[in-house]
């Protein structure tokens, strides 16, 4: 056994990778978002709608750190999903990803802490920056 093997065994445990749940009812958009984030040190989960996202979260054994969700979806929109998920994970960060900002900001309300908005379409660097900033507790001002 090499002399430094003891140090490797007793060193700090590897850092936990954050888990991001990507939810979009349009499969091509969901696929693009997943590809944009695939090279980052993240655990990526996905769902095609609100109820499916809740089921994915229930089956996942670790906490969900970030919900990246479309705002406009059939049956359960992004706001309803975020509320349901935050009831289960109070520290959950949420990134709304949508072309319909008017539905989010129309009444002039401010987003609660830990929730951000990124307009569609976006670039890979913008998406990745927004995700990592929110995970680090430094949401971008949009």
Cα maximum dimension of the chain: 66
Class for the domain spanning 16-135: alpha beta
Residue 125 has pLDDT above 80, yes or no: yes
Residue 57 has pLDDT above 50, yes or no: yes
Residue 11 has pLDDT above 90, yes or no: no
Q: Where are the domains of the chain?
A: 16-135
Q: Are 81 and 50 a contacting pair, CB within 8 Å?
A: yes
For position 13, what pLDDT does the model report?
61
Q: Are 49 and 76 a contacting pair, CB within 8 Å?
A: yes
For position 48, what pLDDT does the model report?
97
């Amino acid at each position: 056994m090499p002399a430094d093997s003891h140090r490797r065994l007793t060193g700090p445990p590897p850092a936990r990778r954050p888990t991001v749940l990507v939810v979009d009812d349009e499969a091509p958009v969901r696929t693009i978002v997943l590809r944009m984030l695939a090279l980052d040190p993240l655990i990526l989960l996905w769902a095609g709608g609100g109820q499916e996202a809740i089921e994915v979260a229930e089956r996942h054994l670790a906490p969900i750190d970030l919900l990246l969700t479309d705002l406009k979806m059939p049956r359960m929109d992004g706001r309803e999903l975020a509320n349901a998920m935050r009831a289960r994970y109070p520290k959950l960060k949420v990134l709304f990803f949508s072309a319909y900002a008017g539905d989010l900001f129309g009444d002039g309300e401010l987003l609660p802490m830990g929730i951000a908005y990124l307009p569609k379409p976006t670039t890979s660097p913008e998406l990745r920056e927004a995700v990592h900033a929110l995970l680090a507790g430094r949401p971008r001002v949009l």
